[in-house]
Amino acid sequence: MATGGAILASSYEGAARNRAFALMGTMAGVGIAVGPTPSGMLISATGWRGSLVVFTVVGLLIMSGATRIRESRAATARADWPGSILFVTALTLFMFALLEAPALGWSHGAVVATAVGGLVALAVFAAGQRRSTAPVLDPALIANRGFLGWSLATLTTSVGFLGVLVFLPTSPSTRIGSSPVRRLMTSGPR
């Protein structure tokens, strides 16, 4: 969503940009809501290995279409390696804490230590971005209402209902014994 938004913002202006963003959001929503059903049918028809081949072909078609996108480059190549490393470290620590907390308990030492480590890495990252000449996330972007709105809309979508839209359609099919989903959930891929 982030790169798609950036590509649309640089490729379109005015009302065309609004239509492009609306179409992107609509297609994302439709894909999330409808996607599990055709995916299950594809697995039924071709097996999980065959479905990977189909998705590979679709991905290659998308990549070939991406060659038509106008390229944009900065005048000079810049990278904020310390900022990148700190951001990845913060996310890694947060994800470890979130994934291990249900098994270990939210008050387990390893969970608390990694969550605190993630907060510290995020705070150091934020402070470093204010001083960086080529920040990973320019603090001025946070003040941009359009960027902040796009980011919050994506976050709301992901946190609010993405999981429900992915798992809700598959839940009834597993209860009634739909073969592809049932086989994958009970025996895993072969």
Residue 125 contacts residue 86 (beta carbons within 8 Å): yes
Q: How far is CA 106 from the centre of its chain?
A: 25
pLDDT of residue 183: 53
CA pair distance 58, 104, nearest whole angstrom: 40
Integer-rounded Cα Rg, in Å, for the chain is 21
Residue 109 contacts residue 134 (beta carbons within 8 Å): no
CA pair distance 110, 116, nearest whole angstrom: 10
pLDDT of residue 105: 92
Write 26-30 long-range contacts (CB < 8 A, 24+). 28/1, 28/157, 29/157
CA pair distance 168, 33, nearest whole angstrom: 9
**Percent of the chain whose predicted confidence (pLDDT) is above 90:** 32
Residue 97 contacts residue 114 (beta carbons within 8 Å): yes
Low-confidence ranges of the chain (pLDDT < 50): 190
pLDDT of residue 167: 67
Closest CA to 136 of 146, 126, 147, 145: 126
Cα 79–Cα 80–Cα 85 angle in degrees, nearest 5:
120
Instruction: Quote the pTM value.
Output: 0.55
Residue 74 contacts residue 12 (beta carbons within 8 Å): no
Residue 32 contacts residue 1 (beta carbons within 8 Å): no
Each domain of the chain, given as residue ranges in start order, spans 1-78+145-190, 79-133
pLDDT of residue 106: 92
pLDDT of residue 79: 82
pLDDT of residue 166: 64
Render pLDDT for 67-119 as a digit per residue (tens, 0 to 9): 887 776 767 777 889 999 999 999 999 999 999 999 999 999 999 999 999 99
